Structure formats: structure tokens, C-alpha cells
Amino acid sequence: MLRMSTLLLRTLRDDPADAEVASHRLLVRAGYVRRVAAGIYSWLPLGYRTYRNIEKVIRDEMDKAGFQEVHFPSLLPREPYEETNRWTEYGPDLFRLKDRKGNDYLLGPTHEEMFTLMVKGEFSSYKDLPLSIYQIQTKFRDEPRPRSGIIRGREFVMKDSYSFDIDDAGLEASYQRHREAYIQTFNRLGLKFNIVSAMSGAMGGSKSEEFLAPCPTGEDTYVLCESCGYAANVEAMVTKVAAYSGSTPPPLEVFDSPNTPTIDSLVELVNSRYGEQITGADTLKNVLLMADGEAISILVPGDREVDLKRVGANLAGVQDLRLFEDEDFAKFPGLVKGYVGPQDAERLGIKVYADPRIVIGSHWITGANFREKHARFVTHGRDFNVIAFVEAAEVKAGDPCPQCDTPVVIDRAIEIGHIFQLGRKYAQALGLTVLDQNGKSQVVTMGSYGIGVSRAVAAIAEQSYDELGLNWPREIAPAEIHLVAAGKDDSIFSFAEKLASDLEEAGLTVLFDDRRDASAGVKFKDAELIGIPYIVIVGKSLAEGKIEFRVRSTGSKVEFAADSAVAEILNAIN
């Protein structure tokens, strides 16, 4: 039994200065976590009980699915990460250190290499596969901007699983098993979530989905079709376009366009000079980027911005992507800033990619590659060609759903899980092969599956809190019953003490507010802030043989006979 009189807990009336999101504010105020450094938190007793309840649900569900638990160290030698090139690729997000002998180590940000090597060390035959193993472990990432309390920290706990299969069909099956296990897990945690298509991004590999918990302050933006249920990470949203169906455009025509620094001014000039009714959507923006040191141009309709994260996620193999800077322009004197067009790309030494909206046959108003000159009827496939289409334009609410054409909505969420067909990248780099049925060596194909364990505490808080405080689902809460002794009489305290023991005896976990020096008002406020799902009050009405039972989430209150309190409480909550 937890007792408020001895619990290491001081609730705070005021919000912490650095808290932007509700979960952070309330977890600090209710005495669940304390900040140690940027993105680094300690858990107080109530917080750690909550965390452990979540960990238990996740472990149960992983075990039920037949995944085997292992455990790796946090302190890892450089060599395996060198072999996969991640020692370098990870950049400043990786915490690196040296031991007393000067050897290089890192703090594991994720454990692909270690899992791969572990399986390599034990297994060697197709008969050993499929295998799915997991760990629940502390991860370290030196986030540039740790924020939102435990949602994006620099030290946090993840459940990470890996699957190992001999072939793609096996991987697909393992992937589906994890997907099912994740659905079970998040349902049991009481989280509302959407499964959205995601890009595999920097991890290499193919199919990938994210489990996103909708939340207005979430860091992740995703696209949702409320009609057919299509959901995608913004990076993964597929643009639906129709083939060009207009008539063949007139030949390309260059025209003078002084004083047109913006799309709007260009549109105005064209409309007034040619009596047209064009909009920004009829112009073509040439956004110049440096991709791993190579100059590229991305074509998007003039009424859209380029979303660099979308480009990055969709342009295979590119590590470092950034906008052109003045010094880049200096290296390409043919590029006339503000008047770039895709017509002379080859001459200019630029690789051109187009957003899918720039369909073949369509014509555009764009720069003429001369100062103060634009061109119109610039036609894709006739006047310019592109290396490839790439999803590049920002996604907007109202864009058509790629499945059913319904306008999509854009929502915010917290990423709580990610499942991922990793493929053979790590197995290849680290030499994880097994012999197949014919005795031939085959590179193993892997899946990678993650759940943010410590983050889930915040995600559940975000989805369940109200204006009074936290509000936990029963399986997650630090206790099931918050029992308040409200009053001054010894009889109240002795009855409450007995009731607390009886409830624990009946198998419930109880937080007993046995404080003698706190007012009933303070106790009620604390109970609401702490967010345990059922509040039992032993107070003045005990004299009439009554106790009060409240449900934290609904605020409903009923009186029970004190004599049969345990039975009535059990009945009410089960």
C-alpha cells in the first residue's frame, strides 16, 4: 500500500516554466518525473510505477506473440557500427566516448548491429528461422532539441524487436505478426492510434508503418482520409494525379518579366499582359537543392512549397539535403536567381526532379534562365525532361486521398510505434547468412519494430488528461484506488485504514491519503491531479454509515454503505 504520508511526493500547484505540453506539465506537477538535464529525467515513485505498468503490458504482449526477450548493453564498441557505417552516418546524435585505454565506444541509440551479431553468433541454418527477439532497454540520442518532457528525451526506454527470416515472404509474415502484437499492445494500453504508411528513410529497407497516437500537441503530422481510412505520414503521402488531357500547347515563348520577384507578381503580369486567368498553380517553381554535394532542381507548382522532409524521404540514398546558398549559385553562373527554368538543365549541370503534379505533357510558366525573362508553354516532355518524379510538394489539408479522392485532413500525433521491413542491409554488412535447404548461403532478411516505452507514459497522459489533471486507464495507473481519509476524527482514519487493507487484500492496489495535516480540499485536488481511476472518500458521511465512490474520468459520484464498501467497490469497478 502506498501512503501519502510517507510517499516521496510533493505535488506542485504551478506549471513548470519549461513545460509546453500537457503531459509534461502534469507529470511534473503530479510528482511523476523530475528534470535532471535537457531531455534527461528521473522517475519519482508514482511515475516509476506507471512506467513499470506500461513496460509490463508491452512485455506480456511480446511474450504472448512468441518473441524472445534478450538484453544488450548500452555501452557498445565502435567496430560493429563502423562496419555498417553508422558510427559516421549517425552524426552528432550519437553519444561517443572513450574508455581508459582510449578505445571508442558509443551509447546505443538503437541496436540493429548488436541483434544482427547475436543471431550470427548462434544460428547458421534456415531451420533456425524465423526468429523474433526483443529487448526493453535504455537508449541514448543526443537530440538537437530535446523537448516535451519525456516525449523527446536524450535518454529514454524503447522496446525494440528484430525479426530474422530466410526470404521476403518470411519477413512479410514476421512483419504482420509484429503488427498484430502492436495493435494488441496499444489497445491494452488504452491508446487511440492510427497505423500510417511511413517512409523507411535513413534506415534503408522497404515497407514501413508508424503507430501514431493523435494528440493536438504531437510532433508528427500525418494525413488521414476520414472516408476510406487511408493514413500516411506526411513524408509517405502519395500524390494522386491524372494524366495530361489538354490540347497540345503552343511553342515555348520567352517574354520580358521585369519586377516579378514573387509568384503573385508574375501571375499578375501574365494575366494583365495576355488577358489570361492563370493562378500560381500554373507556374513552375524550380527549387534548387544540394543533395550530398550535387546540385539538383525540384519542380513543384508555384502555389506549393517544397517539403524538404518529403524530398529527403523519397530521394533514395541521399543523406544530406539542403537549400542552395549564395556560394552554390556562385558555382553555377548559368543559374539566374529568380529566373531559373528546367529547359537548360543539362547545359547548366543540374539534375532535375519533378513533383508528380508536373505530369508529362503539361505546360508551365517558368524562368527562362535569363535575367528578367520568363517563358510560357514550357512543356514537360517537349521543352524539358526530368530524371525522375519525386514526392516533393508540401501536403495540404484537402488534397485528394490517393485511394478514394476524398479531401484528406491533416492531424498531429505522437509516434508510439514503428514497424519496418529492414531487409538485408545489416545482415549484409555484418555477414549474417544461413544455409538454405540446398546448402547454399543466404543473407538473412530482417524486420525492425520499436515501441517508445517511456514515451508511452506521456502519450497516454496526453490522450487522457483533463482540466483537473492526469487520468489513467486502470491497468496503467500507479494504483487502482485513491482512498482519501477526509476529516479530523480518529474514527475516519481508523475506518479508512481498515478499508485500505481490505481493498489490498481483495487484490486491488491502493494509494491511501492518510495525511493528518492536509485539508480535505488539498487531498481532493491531489487525487484529481494524480489521476488514479477510482477515488474513495471516507469522510463526514461515515457517521451515517456511508462512504463516497468517484470515477475520476467521468466525475460521477455515488455513496456506498460503509459496511459493504469492499464488495460495492469491487462490483463498481469490475
Name the segment binding a second copy (CB under 8 A); options: 91-99, 236-244, 434-442, 553-561.
Answer: 91-99
Longest dimension (CA), the chain: 96
Name the segment binding a second copy (CB under 8 A); options: 140-148, 182-190, 319-327, 398-406.
Answer: 140-148
Secondary structure (DSSP) of 176-237: HHHHHHHHHHHHHTT---EEEE---GGG--S-EEEEEEE-TT-SEEEEE-TTT--EEEGGGP
Dist. CA 189–CA 348, nearest whole Å: 56
In the complex, the smallest distance separating the C-beta of residue 68 from a second copy, rounded to whole angstroms, is 4
Dist. CA 94–CA 109, nearest whole Å: 7
The contact mask relative to a second copy for 540-569 (x = CB under 8 A, - = no) is ------------------------------
Contact status: 142 vs a second copy (CB under 8 A): yes
C-alpha grid cell for residue 94?
Answer: 550519437
Within 13 Å, how many C-alpha atoms sit on residue 505's CB side?
Answer: 8
Name the segment binding a second copy (CB under 8 A); options: 47-55, 314-322, 360-368, 428-436.
Answer: 47-55
In the complex, the smallest distance separating the C-beta of residue 198 from a second copy, rounded to whole angstroms, is 26
Site size toward a second copy (CB under 8 A) is: 54
Phi, psi of 284 (to 5 degrees): -120, 120
Residues 376, 367 contacting (CB under 8 angstroms) = no
Name the segment binding a second copy (CB under 8 A); options: 111-119, 238-246, 419-427, 531-539.
Answer: 111-119
Dist. CA 56–CA 205, nearest whole Å: 30
Name the segment binding a second copy (CB under 8 A); options: 68-76, 316-324, 396-404, 544-552.
Answer: 68-76
Name the segment binding a second copy (CB under 8 A); options: 98-106, 173-181, 349-357, 530-538.
Answer: 98-106
Name the segment binding a second copy (CB under 8 A); options: 14-22, 70-78, 379-387, 455-463.
Answer: 70-78
Asked if the bond preceding 130 is cis, omega within 30° of 0, the reply is yes
Contact status: 92 vs a second copy (CB under 8 A): yes
Contact status: 131 vs a second copy (CB under 8 A): yes
Please return the burial class of 460, using the count of CB atoms within 10 Å of its CB with bins 0-12, 13-18 and 19+: buried
Residues 421, 434 contacting (CB under 8 angstroms) = no
In DSSP terms, which residues pair with 132 in a beta bridge?
A: 163
Contact status: 44 vs a second copy (CB under 8 A): yes
Q: Which of 43, 90, 384, 524 binds a second copy (CB under 8 A)?
A: 43
The residue (of 25 and 49) whose beta carbon lies closer to a second copy is: 49
Q: Which residues contact 329 (CB under 8 A, 6 or more apart)?
A: 288, 335, 337
Within 13 Å, how many C-alpha atoms sit on residue 103's CB side?
Answer: 8
In the complex, the smallest distance separating the C-beta of residue 28 from a second copy, rounded to whole angstroms, is 11
Contact status: 126 vs a second copy (CB under 8 A): no
The residue (of 37 and 570) whose beta carbon lies closer to a second copy is: 37
In the complex, the smallest distance separating the C-beta of residue 248 from a second copy, rounded to whole angstroms, is 55
Contact status: 37 vs a second copy (CB under 8 A): yes
Contact status: 73 vs a second copy (CB under 8 A): yes
Please return the burial class of 91, using the count of CB atoms within 10 Å of its CB with bins 0-12, 13-18 and 19+: exposed
In the complex, the smallest distance separating the C-beta of residue 38 from a second copy, rounded to whole angstroms, is 8
C-alpha grid cell for residue 238?
Answer: 502519395
Contact status: 138 vs a second copy (CB under 8 A): yes
For a second copy, the binding residues in 158-177 under the rule CB under 8 A are none
Q: Which of 102, 121, 333, 507 binds a second copy (CB under 8 A)?
A: 121
3-state SS, residue 565: helix
Contact status: 501 vs a second copy (CB under 8 A): no
Contact status: 96 vs a second copy (CB under 8 A): yes
Contact status: 9 vs a second copy (CB under 8 A): yes
Beta strands 546-551 and 445-452 are unpaired
Contact status: 403 vs a second copy (CB under 8 A): no
Q: Which of 122, 326, 467, 490 binds a second copy (CB under 8 A)?
A: 122
For a second copy, the binding residues in 506-545 under the rule CB under 8 A are 517
- What are the C-alpha distances in Å from 300 to residues 282, 288, 303, 370, 529? 10, 11, 8, 20, 49
Dist. CA 413–CA 217, nearest whole Å: 7
The residue (of 122 and 467) whose beta carbon lies closer to a second copy is: 122
3-state SS, residue 264: helix
Residues 297, 332 contacting (CB under 8 angstroms) = no
Contact status: 68 vs a second copy (CB under 8 A): yes
Q: Which of 20, 69, 294, 305 binds a second copy (CB under 8 A)?
A: 69
The residue (of 71 and 347) whose beta carbon lies closer to a second copy is: 71
Q: Provide the binding-site residues for a second copy, judged by CB under 8 A.
A: 6-10, 31, 34, 36-37, 40-45, 48-49, 51, 66, 68-77, 92-93, 95-97, 99-100, 105, 107, 114, 118-119, 121-123, 127, 131, 133, 138, 140, 142, 144, 154-155, 517
